[in-house]
Amino acid sequence: MSQAIFQSVLVIFGILFQVLITSFIQPMGFKLNWVLMILIILAFLHGNRLIPFLAIFAGIWCDLMSHGMISVYGISFLFVILVTQWISTWFYSHTLLLGMILFFTLSLFEGFISLTLLKWSEEEFRWGWNFLYLTFPQALIHGIVGPLLLKGVLLLENFGLRSKA
């Protein structure tokens, strides 16, 4: 399977998982953003030109399925993916600590962008409360779950490469 097809299928699977199953799987009451974690993994592992377009596509679909305000997730996913591709050139290993720090900081960055865009559209939006009590704990959980998901994607890629050889 080519890399572009694998990445596209993985993002579509992440969108479907986010829409259909995430409401049932909520660790500590927080709804994880599986699409964001998959996009960060793909941008960190493969810095090709398809990933930003997949981020915009996934962001628009997540916007349509969650709150209907087009471009909140689309813009924030795009910025996070561009930063991830820029940061990924600095690191050569996929250690657990690096993965935890990467997922935590990028989830905080995505939350910051999303909440800022929502604040601009709504006057009575409580930005600080949402960031402290929703985004920060969710970023901590992403920091724990993200590296495990990274190892799973690496296993899937290795399995696909072995079956081809």
Helix (H, G, I), strand (E, B) or coil at 136: helix
Q: What is the pLDDT of residues 6-58, one digit of tens each?
A: 889 999 999 998 888 888 888 888 888 999 999 999 998 887 889 999 999 99
**Euclidean distance between CA atoms 6 and 160, whole angstroms:** 9
pLDDT level of residue 1 (50, 70, 90 thresholds): low
What is the per-residue pLDDT across 133-145, written as a single tens digit (0 to 9) for each?
889 999 999 999 9
pTM: 0.85
d(CA 119, CA 69): 12
Rounded Cα distance between 107 and 64, Å, is 20
> Tokens 């920091």 belong to which residue?
143
Neighbours of 91 (CB within 10 A): 12
User: What residue segments make up the domains of the chain, in order of their start?
Assistant: 3-164
How far apart are the C-alpha atoms of 55 and 91, rounded to whole Å?
Answer: 22
CA distance 20 to 3: 26
| Separation of first and last alpha carbons in the chain | 11
Residue 142 pLDDT? 93
